[in-house]
Amino acid sequence: MRSVRDTGAFRVGAAALATATMVGAVASPASAETDPGWVSGWLGDTTVGATGAPARTAGLALSSTGATNPRVTFDLTGLTGVATAAFPDWCATDAAAVTCPMPPSATPDEFGTLNGTLPIVLRAVTGAADGATGAISYTVLADGVDGWAQQAAVTVHAGPDAVDVVDEYVTGTATGDRLAMPVGLISAGDRPVDDLRVTLRFPVGLEPAAYRNCRYGAGDQLSTIVVCTIGGELAPGARYEVPGGFATTVGPAALGDKRITQTVAPADTAGLLPAGVTFTRRDADQSLRLRQVGEPVDVLGPDHQYPSGQYYLRAIHGAFDVVALGATATGSAGDTVRVEMGLRNDGPGVPDATISGDNAARFTFTAPTGTTVTNRPANCWPSGSEEESDPTTPVTWYCTKPGGVFAAGETFLVGFDLRVDGPLGVSGEVRILHNYPRMDDNPANDTAAVTVS
């Protein structure tokens, strides 16, 4: 059997990086009926607190298609003097070697691949110094499938630390709503946190309430950045939340999916404020405060690993109208004329594609018959080569607005140079390719004519 695939995979939390390995077999014509399938797995690097901090749970992701007895073997000798590793009781342990099968909770996806997560509880050994680093060696394999040895680093961090525990998805939100966004964390270090910094990013359309101990600034893509410092001592292992949540209003500009991010850190190690943002105070009658909830935890779960969390609002309907803007020009055969066309956002909603990475506004342009495009803007491109196109079929150009948002009241225009070849005939057209994130409230103005006479 042979290894046929070695793929990289990553997961971003605070700064977690993992390497994925997929192993399988190449089925020759003679062995096609006995294909052993494939397995893959990855385990990210993990930082654990020094003695006195809650343990961390690292999750090894294991996947298999058509493989018999998929499993993972571990060599823990690289953790000596740094950390201990505890495995579920369905794993077999022999000294520093551990073998775990596919987790009993594994489920198949839509493609038939079986996916499971193996929890490994990591805890620093007594006396492990700040910065001490060890490694877990692991091999993913199955019957008839050779394994590929990998390693994941385990590093000890001494001092105060905090992890965010908010990961919430909300549906049914409408403009005008006032939300109580949860803010929650666990003090995850071996020493108490003395004062906490919370940094939040509110995308366009979401309006944070004013608190005395917070500063506010304008971020990129029309977002609002808020930095709050909350005083007090947070004991190791204890969980805290903002009572009543962080008040947030869904304004008229809110439209589509919105993600509010929050990051927690001890104030004395939080580093510089977000770059390029000028912060000011707002008049406020209240301060943002924390209260302890529940009992202290001894082990952080796999979902509570990172200093950042999110509050995700799904599909805010929001009212908006994006208008197609046409153009007119006059010219004779042989002339070159300039036409400027595009879009205008009549609001009040603001298309915001910063989450998806899509474009917030785009349109197509078809030139009038009897003309040829001789010069086009950089952010427009043809659906195909003009030379390869059917000469009887007009070339369609696709244009996208740079940036992730299309502000209310903003106009986006591009200029094309058209050579008049004649005879002039059917007008050209600007057409909104698709409204983002949904069809707007007035589809009748989603097309406009471009004429040359």
Q: What is the CATH number of the domain that holds 33?
A: 2.60.40.10
- Structure confidence at residue 391 as a pLDDT band (50, 70, 90): low
Same domain, 253 and 110: no
Burial class (CB in 10 A: 0-12, 13-18, 19+), 260: buried
Q: What is the pLDDT of residue 2?
A: 27
- Structure confidence at residue 356 as a pLDDT band (50, 70, 90): confident
Same domain, 54 and 95: yes
How far is residue 100's CA from residue 89's CA, in Å, rounded to a whole number? 9
How many C-beta neighbours within 10 Å does residue 340 have?
A: 14
Same domain, 74 and 178: no
Q: What is the pLDDT of residue 15?
A: 34
Residue 148 scores a pLDDT above 90: no
Q: What does the pLDDT look like over 168-202, one tens digit per residue?
A: 999 999 999 999 999 999 999 999 999 999 999 99
Cβ-Cβ contacts under 8 Å for 328 (sequence gap 6 or more): 339, 450, 451, 452, 453
Question: Would 11 be classed as within a structural domain?
Answer: no
Q: 68 with 144: CB under 8 angstroms?
A: yes
More reliable by pLDDT, 390 or 436: 436
Same domain, 310 and 169: yes
The values of phi and psi at residue 79, to 5°, are -95, -5
Range(s) of the domain holding residue 226: 162-316
Same domain, 378 and 421: yes
Question: Would 9 be classed as within a structural domain?
Answer: no
Question: Would 300 be classed as within a structural domain?
Answer: yes
Q: What is the pLDDT of residue 24?
A: 52
Same domain, 270 and 237: yes
Closest CA to 200 of 305, 354, 307: 307
Residue 420 scores a pLDDT above 80: yes
- Structure confidence at residue 131 as a pLDDT band (50, 70, 90): very high
End of a domain among 108, 135, 157?
A: 157
- Structure confidence at residue 10 as a pLDDT band (50, 70, 90): very low
Residue 315 scores a pLDDT above 50: yes
Q: What is the pLDDT of residue 6?
A: 32
Q: What is the pLDDT of residue 353?
A: 93
Residue 229 scores a pLDDT above 90: yes
Question: Would 25 be classed as within a structural domain?
Answer: yes
End of a domain among 316, 336, 357?
A: 316
Total number of domains constituting the chain: 3
What mean pLDDT comes out for the span 113-125?
97
- Structure confidence at residue 423 as a pLDDT band (50, 70, 90): confident
Read off the tokens for 415. 């200029």
In the chain, what percentage of residues exceed pLDDT 70?
90
Same domain, 101 and 26: yes
- Average model confidence (pLDDT) for the chain? 90
Least confident of 13-17, 31-35, 331-335: 13-17
Tell me the CATH number at 228. 2.60.40
CA dihedral 217, 221, 222, 227 (to 10 degrees): -20
What mean pLDDT comes out for the span 148-158?
96
Q: What is the pLDDT of residue 393?
A: 60
Read off the tokens for 198. 């919370």
Read off the tokens for 132. 């001490």
- Structure confidence at residue 40 as a pLDDT band (50, 70, 90): very high
The values of phi and psi at residue 426, to 5°, are -65, 135
Same domain, 218 and 135: no
Which pTM does this prediction carry?
Answer: 0.85
Same domain, 265 and 348: no
In the chain, what percentage of residues exceed pLDDT 90?
83
End of a domain among 114, 130, 157?
A: 157
Question: 3-state SS of the chain: helix, strand, coil percent to 5?
Answer: 5, 50, 50
Question: Would 439 be classed as within a structural domain?
Answer: yes
Same domain, 87 and 223: no
Closest CA to 136 of 123, 122, 118, 154: 154
- Structure confidence at residue 383 as a pLDDT band (50, 70, 90): confident
Same domain, 280 and 401: no
- Structure confidence at residue 30 as a pLDDT band (50, 70, 90): very low
More reliable by pLDDT, 206 or 21: 206
Question: Would 64 be classed as within a structural domain?
Answer: yes
Question: Would 8 be classed as within a structural domain?
Answer: no
Question: Would 175 be classed as within a structural domain?
Answer: yes
Same domain, 96 and 189: no
